[in-house]
Amino acid sequence: MRIGINGFGRIGRAITRIIVENKSLDIVAINDINPDPSNLAYLLKYDTTYGRLSEKIWADERKLYINNETEIALYSQEDVTKVPWDKHGVDFVIDASGVKSCLQKLHSLQNLGVKRCVVTNSPEDSNIKSIVMGVNEKTINLDDYILSSSICDANAFVPVMNLLQENFGVDHGFVTTLHPWLGYQNLLDGPSMSVSDPGHIHSTYVLGRSSINALIPKTTTCISASCRALPWLDGKFMSLSYRVPTMIVSSADISVKLEKNVTREEIKRVFENAEQIQQYKIIKNVNEPLTSIDFTGSEYSAIVDHRWLMVNGHSYCKFILWYDNEWGYSSRVIDLVHYLGTL
């Protein structure tokens, strides 16, 4: 399958790195508003979070080269429809730009021979189906041209809730996510510029505060995004988030009231069995004395830390999840593209 990537930020580069390491897909075109090809090559080669790629990577004015084996056409267009995806025989476009206005133009890519588009966020458009791999990918229809791979938090939360619902029933609950800083945040206090709506200042002013010096409480789209994949969750959960001064790996602190009485061992067996039979790297069970940084580079959507699994009153449970919000999420995007190629 021939892949085009629109947006070469953190997620676009993580997707590319995974594909380069696994040689699982063929990236033939990249579009990013950064007009400096050498800088794109540099950012792919050297990464503060994931380290240096061993591959030889360089660029000229038109192409990115990897190991004298791969040539990727480079473009710097603000309008995704002005990229000649058809010239490169692109089958699927992954839109990792995060820009809302781009979403409105993706349908036009059908005229350029693109079979489907995957957006790496959770659009409010109800006509765009949100897919969480391992949960609802089989609901994809042939006429679903644009698909959402949801968000990192939902990719961790939804599979866990799905397992609990299938085995014990979910009554209600609360979730608090702890999410590392993002690129639009500031080192020093100032306005927080929106990525999805360029030129707009976030009304949540706290996001403009220094990202390296504070725990920043904020609202989160974890539940609204999760409901798009699991509609039965609607009205059952409340959530909040902290933006924390770390570079990578998120956590979710989940409290949930189940419909059935359970024991800690029964819950643990459900998750251990799920890990054994799953098709994709969704659930991972751990019981070691680890910290967030130890999960850097994990491909799993939700790492269930059984050290903190608690049951109170027979049906009220506490879960702690870990997930690499870039690498784990990007791995599911690639899984989704592979799945689309089978339809």
Tell me the C-alpha distance between 143 and 254, whole Å. Answer: 36
Distances (CA, A) of 19 to 214, 330, 338: 35, 10, 12
- How many CA within 13 A on the CB side of residue 320? 13
Which has the closest alpha carbon to 28: 80, 63, 77, 67? Answer: 63
Is 117 an active-site residue? no
Query: Among the options 152, 222, 227, 317, which is catalytic?
Result: 152
Are 53 and 66 within 8 A, CB to CB? no
Tell me the C-alpha distance between 27 and 92, whole Å. Answer: 10
- What tokens does 336 get? 């989704």
Q: How far is CA 342 from the centre of its chain?
A: 22
Distances (CA, A) of 74 to 7, 13, 47, 114, 135: 11, 14, 20, 17, 35
Place of tokens 């933006």: 243
Q: What are φ and ψ of residue 262, in 5° steps?
A: -140, 165
Residues in the chain: 343
Catalytic residues: 152
